A = this chain, B = another copy of it.
Amino acid sequence: MTLFRLDASIRKVESHSRQMADIVEREWREAHPDEPIISRDIGTEPLPATAWAAAVTAGSAPEESRSPEQRDAVALAAALTDELVAADSLLLAVPLYNFGVSQHFKTWVDLIATDDRMQPHVEPVVAGKPTVLATVHGGYYAAGTPREGWDHATAWYRRILADVWKLDLRVIETEFTLVGVNPNLSQFEDMAARMRAEAEDLARSYGRTLAA
């Protein structure tokens, strides 16, 4: 049994999405002490910004007439897809940034979408794989809060992972991670601690699901 783990946080330390994914991974590891984890860190080792356009334009060019850059991009998209194919379950740690998606995660998705095995109108090669997405918000965006509607990332993450790629998706949303960092939010400390504990419980539970 193999786990694939993706990290999109640009921080190594004090990254809440990495901390949540660590909890999920620990549960998986406990059940599978000797089995492989494939790791891809697009937050600290980003995919090149030029690769996607090269992969798209390569799609319409016969293989022998492709440029070296196009060949590299097609090979990169295939390698990223291979990592998903090789895994039995997926763990994706992807924050919200500037009220939107992680640029690096969008690049990763765009690239994989160019692979032959992930085209529309065919069943995605990754369909059905048990997947946990751990996403993190500095603020609090739930219904009824002043920032309701300002999380423009999670719905797109779900759209691609569940609706387009047809993964068997579970989502852990950790909210209000700026409490304790931003002094203006100190009145929310109890609430944030309670939500954090709930998210951690969910992470343990989902970790056992991935391991099953």
A residues engaging B (CB < 8 A)?
10, 43-44, 46-50, 52-53, 56-57, 97-101, 103-104, 106-107, 109-110, 113, 150, 152, 155-156, 159-160, 164
Contacts and interface: CB of A to CB of B under 8 A. Distances in A.
Given A46-B49, A49-B46, A98-B110, A56 B10 contact: yes
A100 to B, nearest CB: 5
Given A49-B46, A49-B49, A98 B56 contact: no
Contacts of A44: 53
A155 B152 contact: yes
A107 B10 CA distance: 13
Contact of A160 (B99, B109, B160): B99
Given A10-B56, A53-B43, A152-B155, A100 B160 contact: yes
